[in-house]
Structure 1
Amino acid sequence: MKLTNKQIAIIDQTLIDKGVVYEEIKLELLDHIVTDIELETEESNFEIAFSKAMLKWEKELEEINPLEKIVTPRIVKEKFSKITKNLFKFSLLAVVIFSVLITTITTLKPEEYVYYNLHLFFYSVFSLVCLINIISMYFIWKLKIKTIYGRFFQVYVGYTAFSLYKIYSGLNRLSDLSRHYSYKSIFRNFFEWFFDGFYFFMAIYLVIVAVEHFRVVKKYKLI
């Protein structure tokens, strides 16, 4: 059974009505459902074949937040949750490795200039990452193309404001360094880098998510 453009449009609208509004998820499901229907015999009725195909994907399309105003099918919720878990896994693992490394360096080299240059480099890179996120936020908003990565980015990009505050506070501490510098214990040193580093790696992960959004836009030629 070869589907017409009108029949494909019906499937597409049905997925949207069920809350699958994110392009990469919708297009993937659309491809699977169209394939399932087209594998039916030529004598099959479209409505019957469509119903059978939708029944196959019933679990993934199940609404799991029935009390909320926005329909959220299971497949969307699970995809968003997976990206969220990856955010915290990436940030925690990266910041632990980073904090141990920098703490080791500053313990072996406790001089003021080492402390100053490491922080200055860190806050410079952090500022650049935040700038990239702000620019990405503008283009994601301007394109108005819905992907699950774009939605995730929009939800978590608000942390950029707090990151900018952390950068501002850190640079202020550096400006008074000559009057207030004192060698910190290993634990204080570690946690100082850990708390700033966690938001730094969250910001880096958001850059990765933004890149994924634009990759999806390019892959499916959505512009």
Structure 2
Amino acid sequence: MKLTNEQIAIIDQTLIDKGVVYEEIKLELLDHIVTDIELETEESNFDVAFSKAMLKWERELEEINPSGKFAAPRIVMEKFSSFFKGQYKFLFPAAAIFSFLIAIITTLYPEEFVYNTVKLVFYSVYFLFCFGGIISLFFISKTKSKTISGKLIQKSWWFLVLQFCVIYVYSSSYSRLYRHYNNEPFLGKFIEWLMPFYFFLNAFHLIMIAIEHFRTVRKYKLV
């Protein structure tokens, strides 16, 4: 059974009505459902084949938290959930590793020049990541296409503001002076870098999410 453009449009609208509004998920589901229907025999009725295909995806399209603030199909909620699980699984260990390495470097080379250079490079790159996140947020807000990654960036605007506060607090005179840092034990040096690195990696991660949004828009030729 070969589907017409009108029949494909019906499937597309049905998915939207069920809350599948994010393009990468909707187009993936649309492709699966169209394939399922077209595998039916030529004699099959479109409505019957469509109902059978939708029944196959019933669990994924079931609405989760219907009375809550954020109600969405299971497949959408699972995408968001997997993102946050992956984020925390990666960011904390990575922040700990980077903090450990910087603490080793500044311990082996205790000169103030080394400390100030590391700090300058770190916060310069950190600032660029945050600034890039703001620019990405601006351009994503101008696009009509909805993607999971785009939604995550738009929901993170407050976090980007927080990032600049973190940069100010840790890089300003209120952060520990070199002489205090140099006299601290290794554990103290490690702890001083841990939180800045966590926020640094969050900023980097947001940039990667923004890139994924634009990649999705380009892949599916969206606007």
Fold shared per TM-score above 0.5? yes
| Letter of the structure 2 residue corresponding to residue 123 of structure 1 | Y
Q: Count how many residue pairs are aligned between Structure 1 and Structure 2.
A: 223
Counterpart of 1:163 in structure 2 is 163
Counterpart of 2:129 in structure 1 is 129
Does residue 28 (structure 1) correspond to residue 42 (structure 2)? The answer is no
Q: CA deviation at 1:71?
A: 3.6
Where do residues 86-101 of structure 1 align in structure 2 (5 Å cutoff)? 86-101=86-101
Distance 2:221 2:18 in 1: 23
Do the aligned partners of 1:90 and 1:205 also contact (CA within 8 Å) in 2? no
Counterpart of 1:152 in structure 2 is 152
Name the % identity: 59
| Letter of the structure 1 residue corresponding to residue 169 of structure 2 | S
Q: CA deviation at 1:73?
A: 0.4
Q: CA deviation at 1:217?
A: 0.3
Does residue 114 (structure 1) correspond to residue 111 (structure 2)? The answer is no
Q: Classify the secondary structure of the residue corresponding to 2:64.
A: coil
Counterpart of 2:19 in structure 1 is 19
| Letter of the structure 2 residue corresponding to residue 109 of structure 1 | Y
Distance 2:69 2:41 in 1: 40
Q: CA deviation at 1:75?
A: 0.4
Counterpart of 2:191 in structure 1 is 191
Give ranges in structure 2 of 5+ residues lacking alignment.
Answer: none
Q: CA deviation at 1:163?
A: 1.2
| Letter of the structure 2 residue corresponding to residue 27 of structure 1 | L
**TM-score, normalised to structure 1's length?**
0.94
Give ranges in structure 1 of 5+ residues lacking alignment.
Answer: none
**TM-score, normalised to structure 2's length?**
0.94
Q: CA deviation at 1:111?
A: 2.0
Distance 2:133 2:165 in 1: 15
Q: Classify the secondary structure of the residue corresponding to 2:65.
A: coil
Distance 1:195 1:58 in 2: 43
Distance 1:105 1:196 in 2: 17
Counterpart of 2:49 in structure 1 is 49
Counterpart of 1:140 in structure 2 is 140
Distance 1:112 1:188 in 2: 17
Q: CA deviation at 1:137?
A: 0.4
